[in-house]
Amino acid sequence: SFDGIETGTGTGQYNGKVTIGTTRSGSGYQMVDSTRGGHRTSDMKQGTSGSGTLFTNSSDIWGNGSQSNRQTAGVDAHYGAQETWDFYQKTFGRNGIRNDGVASSSRVHYGSNYVNAFWDDSCFCMTYGDGQGNAHPLTALDVAGHEMTHGVTSATAGLEYSGESGGLNEATSDIMGTGVEFFAHNPNNPGNYLIGEQIDINGNGTPLRYMDQPSKDGSSLDYWSPDAGSVDVHYSSGIANHFFYLLSEGSGTKTVNGVTYNSPTYDGSSVPGIGRDKALAVWYKALTTYMTSTTDYAAARQATLQAAADLYGSGSTEYQAVGSTWTAVNVN
């Protein structure tokens, strides 16, 4: 065989056995996905600066599902970047985070006891800690989609990361991260409206966030109120996460992929749900066409109504549902 594009087999901790894009170089292989802009995944070896050491291997078989194998977190991160790339490309025709065909990169095993993951525009890169006690790496698929979506938001609406626009920025990451999770159809991880359910960040098996009823995390807002702009952006995101759940699935009780949700509304009204694909299309169109750095909740209502009018017509049931669903989370 020659140097160039390959398809490797990896076993992640969260995603199980998956195929990943790799590159053959000389007698070995590199964790470089040449088919998706050249995305590179590297090992920070618990360091916190620089780009780390690119994962390489003598064969095209990577990781073993155990977190003690250093490649395992690399497989989950590399797969997360791949599925996020494919989600944006196949769902919206977006060619990479900046829509310019250029890949970001991923860094895993960042720091010690680092219980977070983050996107950084300046390195155009994704970084994942290994979690508390270096257990439960942050490399789950919805987390990957969440973080890389911060890059998309930055390249499009540019929503400021504070106040209500910050909540919309965070929600955009949860919404698209959820879209990535459903898109991937991974048998180890069918899609759900929970965020971070695999990384056990609370230590008791509960997810980080719930889109059907965000307040179940103890802090997030289910409905808009005048103090929405003064709470942490990871809590004011609840209003838009709740909007997205309701717009996708409707109010009340519903089971999707074996998870049962119960989504209430502000005024007790019922809202119908238009399906996740249409809800994603409305949000993406609003994000990339109508939202700006200072969009607040009232403006997000207008932006998504405009998007729904563009996509389905101003007399459509979809347009009606967008309006009634914002009302159901007290955004008028």
At CA 249, angle to CA 246 and CA 251, rounded to 5?
55
Q: Considering 6, 83, 147, 170, which one is annotated as catalytic?
A: 147
- For Zn ion, which is the closer residue by CB, 23 or 172? 172
Cα separation, 212 vs 217, in Å, equals 11
- For ligand ASN, which is the closer residue by CB, 46 or 162? 162
Instruction: Count residues binding ligand ASN (CB under 6 A).
Output: 7
Query: 122 Cβ partners below 8 Å, 6+ apart?
Result: none
Interacting residue with ligand ASN among 9, 116, 302, 324 (CB under 6 A): 116
Burial of 70 (0-12, 13-18, 19+ CB in 10 A): middle
Residue 156 touching Zn ion (CB under 5 A): no
Beta carbon of residue 161, minimum distance to ligand ASN (angstroms, whole number): 7
- Look up residue 159 and give its two tokens: 């929503």
Cα separation, 77 vs 5, in Å, equals 19
Q: Within 13 Å, how many C-alpha atoms sit on residue 230's CB side? A: 3
Interacting residue with ligand ASN among 111, 118, 134, 162 (CB under 6 A): 118
| Residue keyed to tokens 């965020």 | 195
Question: Do the bridges between strand 125-129 and strand 105-110 make them parallel or antiparallel, or are there none, so unpaired?
Answer: parallel
- For Zn ion, which is the closer residue by CB, 30 or 173? 173
Catalytic site residue 234?
yes
The one segment of 8-16, 36-44, 142-150, 205-213 that binds ligand ASN by CB under 6 A: 142-150
Beta carbon of residue 315, minimum distance to ligand ASN (angstroms, whole number): 38
Cα separation, 240 vs 222, in Å, equals 9
- For ligand ASN, which is the closer residue by CB, 89 or 116? 116
Residue 149 touching Zn ion (CB under 5 A): no
Residues 151-210 that bind ligand ASN (CB under 6 A): 170
- For ligand ASN, which is the closer residue by CB, 239 or 307? 239
Contact yes or no for 33/21 (Cβ under 8 A): yes
Taking residues 168 to 197 in sequence order and writing x for each that binds Zn ion by CB under 5 A, - otherwise, the string is: -----x------------------------
Q: Taking the mean position of all CA atoms in its chain, how far away is CA 71?
A: 22
Beta carbon of residue 314, minimum distance to ligand ASN (angstroms, whole number): 34
Residue 147 touching ligand ASN (CB under 6 A): yes
Q: Considering 109, 150, 234, 242, which one is annotated as catalytic?
A: 234
Ranges of beta strands (E only) in the chain are 4-11, 17-25, 28-30, 32-33, 39-43, 53-54, 56-57, 61-62, 105-110, 117-120, 125-129, 194-195, 209-210, 252-256, 259-263
> Contact residues for Zn ion (CB under 5 A)?
173
The catalytic site residues sit at 147, 234
> Contact residues for ligand ASN (CB under 6 A)?
116-118, 146-147, 150, 170
